[in-house]
Amino acid sequence: MHRIAVDIGGTFTDCVLMDEATGAVTLHKLLTTPDDPSDAVLAGVDALLRAGGVDIADISTLVHGTTLVTNALIERKGSRTGMLVTAGMRDILDIGRERRYDLFDLRLAYPQPVVPRSLRREIGERIGFDGTRGEALDAKAVVAAARDLVEGEGIEALAICFLNSYANDAHEQEAARLVREALPDLLVSTSAEVFPYVREYERWTTATMNAYVQPLVNRYIAHIDERLAGIGFGGQFYIMTSSGGMVTQATARRFPIRLLESGPAAGALMSAHHGKVGGIDNLLSFDMGGTTAKGALVRDGRALRKYELEVARVHEFKAGSGLPAKAPVIDMIEIGAGGGSIAAVDERGVIGVGPRSAGAKPGPACYGRGGTEPTLTDANLVLGYYDAASFLGGKMGLDLAAARAAIDKRVAGPLGIETLRAAWGIHEAVNESVASAFRIHASERAFDYRRSSMVAFGGSGPAHAVRIAGKLNVPRVVLPPGAGVMSALGLLRSPFSFEVARSQRTRLDTLDPAAYAEAFAAMERNARGILADAGISGKDVAIERRLDMRYEGQGYELEVAAGATPDGLAEAFGDAYGAVFSSIRLDEPLEIVNWKLEASGPEPMAGRAFRFDRDFVPGSALKGERAAYLPESGVTAVPVLDRYRLRVGAVVEGPAIIEERESTLVIGHGDTATIDQHLNLVVDVRGATAS
């Protein structure tokens, strides 16, 4: 049997077919079809079946990653959504966090809440901060308000958001039951079910977004299911979540907010796989495309998680200018720097790159499509890293003169420096900002990147990865084969998983071990139930418990791995605290704040490799030489090699440029690249870090 993975990205839809017996993969890339994304899915499946000579009946499983939810939130294409909210709290969504994301820019912009004020109805009820029930739920008001919103305002989905429901969701549950009875066609989300964390603005925003995209996701899944059935597909259809696990259609429809950012999550998952195979405990996953660079940390074979993601940022990439979504997601850094990022002289009189991007249209100046502003791609071309003739496998010629002119006009001229120096400044400014972002991200998580490796992919990643690694003192960079479709490959390795999390403050010194066990047991029943629905047998389910802990009274928590009993938690916290913050230990009581439990099924293809044999061709790898700028030796004649002709065990001494279809690797003096047995390009970094 075979499996298919389809990952829909902003520009491309990536598809992979894999033979479950041999691991042999067939890759296909096509343009995304925004009007009906399922067009590209169907076309991609068709192309794979032809290329692989496989019948649709031989497909056991199709795994799907989609940007549908993210796009719907950015473009406001969700449904008309209502909200029932605790009396007195209707405006929490407008009031927001009462925080400016920029102190000096007075022209701030925030996204509008997805539920307008006029579609929110207040309901009499109250739960106390400790979960005690205060005012009873006004059941009549619940039904009347929901009915009015449906009949008078035409809402398709409803979010029920009550105060302190993270501590006790009885009123939310009761209200949901009443609404479902009265209005069986209305889609209902409750804030504690979507994500029971403290802080009403964030939890309610998440619940309203979940409701807002629910009708759309429902329709989309039904539509694609029907079209797949139409071509004879009889296998399982699964959806990828932002935490790197698959879920069934039913779970995806219930918690569509968990589908945000599934593509990058799958990419990070693929990096984690390379770490496992290579026996590397800690690694950095680095993905750089046309508009952004993304980074994730992988520890002991698992990408680190976080529980809040900001979507639909209004002010370019400024943190704080978007809507917070609470969900388990791969803990990713995102930097507004990619191949299309525009370089300019900033107010300080130095080179700034991004977050403005020339995008695909007009694109970098060298694309010759009317772009006049210099981009990172223009700089890399001027530096000799890219070849004007063989870019994207020769599908697209680049205009070197246009790139030089743009850099001269906007950067080199105003600063009074040479074109080449300006190009290097653009290139290196991006390296530095990516390295800084990794540094701060890693240190906040007590992650020692110095003994790690970097896995680099994406169209622009390999041109920058080795120098970034040098700055971080990361000794090794791995460039896997098929890096152009990393996310789709990641989908094929994604296990079934579901994570349950909740806020419940508990002092460690007075913790009752039985209550501890019961709290996790309840979460485990919930998570196992969702996996059982997917047909995963109980004995194949792995359970992982984690706690967010802090000194009592502190506002930020550290994550600690937890067992079935509370033994050893204080020591585990002490070690984590010392590693992240300070050698000074406090004599304060500890408390547990958030409880997290994840149930996972077995990893497909565990311990087995993909086979890319058909991509690799015989012949001499050396294509010639190109003049390229290297900071240590200036303009240098650098050998250019074809990756697809490098055999297992081949060794390339830097400086060198190694080209493949969608990206170009640059290694400097002292760096060495080898091809390992899995056809990875592995670079030993000895590059200097001087600027």
Partner 1 sequence: MSGYDPVSLGIIWDRLIAITDETLSSLVRTSFSTNVRESYDLSCMLFDSKMRSIAQGTYSVPSFTGTAPNTVRLMLEKHPPHTLRDGDVLATNDPWIGTGHLYDINVLRPIFHRGRIVAYSLSITHLPDIGGLGFSATARQIYEEGLRLPVVKLVEQGRPNPLLFELIGLNVRVPEQTLGDFHANIACNEVAARLLVEFLEEHGLTDIDAVADAIVANSEKALRTAIAAMPDGTYHHAIDVEGGEDSLRLAIKLEVIGDRIHADFTGTSPVLNMGINVPIGYTKAFVVYAVKCVTTPAIPNNIGCVTPITVSAPDNCILNALPPYPTGGRHVIGHFVNPLTMGALAQIVPDKVQAESGMMSLVNIQGRHRDGRGVSSIYFSSGGFGALKGIDGLPTMPSPSNMTGTPVEVWEDITGMTVRRKALRVDSGGPGEFRGGLGQEIEMVNDTGNELTISCLSGRTQFAAQGLAGGAAGALRACLINGEAVHPKGRYFLKPGDVLTLVEPGGGGFGSAARRAPERVAEDVREGFVTVEAARRDYGFTGSTGRVPHP
Region 587-606 residues binding partner 1, contact defined as CB under 8 A = 588
Query: Should residue 166 be labelled a site residue for partner 1 when binding is judged by CB under 8 A?
Result: yes
Among candidates 260, 682, 647, which has minimal Cα distance to 454? 682
Q: Tell me which residues in 123-142 interact with partner 1 (CB under 8 A).
A: 126, 128-130, 134
Q: Among 10, 23, 116, 301, which residue sits at the site for partner 1 (rule: CB under 8 A)?
A: 116
Task: Kindly state the tokens that stand for 311.
Answer: 């979507």
Comparing C-alpha atoms, which of 431, 597, 629 is closest to residue 524? 597
- Could you say whether residue 432 binds partner 1 (CB under 8 A)? yes
Is residue 92 a contact residue for partner 1 (CB under 8 A)? Answer: yes
Out of 54, 56, 110, 603, the only residue in the binding site for partner 1 (CB under 8 A) is: 110
Nearest to partner 1 of 57, 586 (CB atom):
586
Answer yes or no whether residue 97 interacts with partner 1 by CB under 8 A: yes
User: Can residue 428 be called a binding residue for partner 1 (CB under 8 A)?
Assistant: yes
Does 95 bind partner 1 (CB under 8 A)? Our answer is yes
Verify binding: residue 109, partner 1, rule CB under 8 A.
yes
Stretch that binds partner 1, among 197-205, 228-236, 238-246, 382-390 (CB under 8 A): 197-205
Interaction residues for partner 1, span 451-510 (CB under 8 A):
471, 473, 505
Q: How far is the CB of 478 from partner 1 (least distance, A)?
A: 23
Distance CA 362, CA 604 (A): 41
Return the DSSP state at 365.
G
Q: Which stretch binds partner 1 (CB under 8 A): 100-108, 240-248, 330-338, 615-623?
A: 100-108
Question: CB of 517: closest distance to partner 1 in angstroms?
Answer: 24
Q: Is 551 in the site for partner 1 (CB under 8 A)?
A: yes
Q: How many residues touch partner 1 (CB under 8 A)?
A: 81
The interface with partner 1 within residues 651-690 (CB under 8 A) comprises: 689-690
* Residue corresponding to tokens 């010629």: 397
Indicate the residue among 76 and 647 with the shorter CB distance to partner 1. Answer: 76
Residues numbered 312 to 351 that lie near partner 1 (CB under 8 A) are: 345-351
For residues 287-306, which are near partner 1 according to CB under 8 A? none
| Contact call for residue 565 and partner 1 (CB under 8 A) | no
What is the 3-state secondary structure of 379-405?
Answer: HHHHCCCCCCCCHHHHCCCCCHHHHHH
Using CB under 8 A, which of 424, 449, 498, 595 touches partner 1?
424
Among 35, 53, 103, 617, binds partner 1 (CB under 8 A): 103
Q: Say how far apart CA 527 and CA 597 lie, in whole Å.
A: 8
Q: How far is the CB of 110 from partner 1 (least distance, A)?
A: 7
105 near partner 1, judged by CB under 8 A: yes
Token pair recorded at residue 594:
């958030």
Binding flag, residue 108, partner 1 (CB under 8 A): yes
To partner 1, the closest distance from the beta carbon of 420 in angstroms equals 11
Q: Is 553 in the site for partner 1 (CB under 8 A)?
A: yes
Pairing mode, if any, of strands 59-65 and 25-31? unpaired
Rounded to 5 degrees, φ, ψ at 173 are -65, -45
What b/e readout covers 225-242, taking b as 16+ CB neighbours within 10 angstroms?
A: eebbeeeebebbbbbbbb
Least Cβ distance, residue 599 to partner 1 (angstroms):
28
Residues 204-263 interacting with partner 1 (rule: CB under 8 A): none
Answer whether 85's CB lies under 8 Å from 93's CB.
no
Compute the least distance from the CB of residue 660 to partner 1, in Å. 29
- 429 touching partner 1, by CB under 8 A: yes
In the complex, minimum distance from the CB of residue 363 to partner 1, in angstroms, rounded to a whole number: 25
Treating both helix axes as pointing N-terminal to C-terminal, what angle do 139-153 and 170-182 enclose, rounded to 10 degrees? Answer: 50
- Binding span for partner 1 by CB under 8 A among 301-309, 433-441, 619-627, 664-672: 433-441
- CA–CA–CA angle 572, 548, 313 (5° rounding): 135
CA distance 254 to 348: 49
Nearest approach in angstroms of CB 631 to partner 1 is: 10
Closest CA to 337 of 287, 410, 385, 403: 287
According to the binding rule CB under 8 A, does residue 554 interact with partner 1? yes
**Binding residue for partner 1 (CB under 8 A) from 21, 107, 181, 510?**
107
Q: Kindly write down the DSSP assignment for every residue of 290-325, as one continuous string.
A: SS-EEEEEEETTEE-EEEEEEES-SSTT-TTSSEEE
Q: Which of 144, 314, 396, 417 touches partner 1 (CB under 8 A)?
A: 417
Long-range contacts, stretch 537-546, CB < 8 angstroms, 24+ apart: 540/601, 540/602, 541/599, 541/600, 541/601, 542/599, 542/600, 542/601, 543/597, 543/598, 543/599, 544/597, 544/598, 544/600, 545/520, 545/595, 545/596, 545/597, 546/596, 546/597, 546/598
- Judge whether 155 and 84 are in contact, CB under 8 Å: no
User: Between residue 72 and residue 91, which ones bind partner 1 under the rule CB under 8 A?
Assistant: 80, 87-91
Of 57, 32, 16, 40, residue with least CA distance to 614:
16
Contact with partner 1 (CB under 8 A) among 117, 369, 608, 614? 117
The strand pairing partners of 622, in sequence order, are 641
Provide the minimum distance between the beta carbon of 656 and partner 1 in the complex, in angstroms, as a whole number. Answer: 24
Write the DSSP assignment of 526-580 as a string of letters: HHHHHHHHTT--GGG-EEEEEEEEEETT-S--EEEEE-SS-TTHHHHHHHHHHHH
Residue numbers 384-403 binding partner 1 by CB under 8 A:
none
Letter string b/e over residues 359-370, b meaning 16 or more CB atoms within 10 A of that residue's CB: beeebbbbbbee
- Distance separating alpha carbons of residues 124 and 98, to the nearest angstrom: 25
352 binds partner 1 (CB under 8 A): yes
Please select the residue that binds partner 1; options are 201, 237, 616, 644, rule is CB under 8 A.
Answer: 201
Q: Which stretch binds partner 1 (CB under 8 A): 177-185, 264-272, 293-301, 418-426?
A: 418-426
- C-alpha–C-alpha distance, residues 656 and 184, integer Å: 64
Degrees to nearest 5, angle at CA 633 with 629 and 636: 50
634 lines the binding site for partner 1 (CB under 8 A)? no
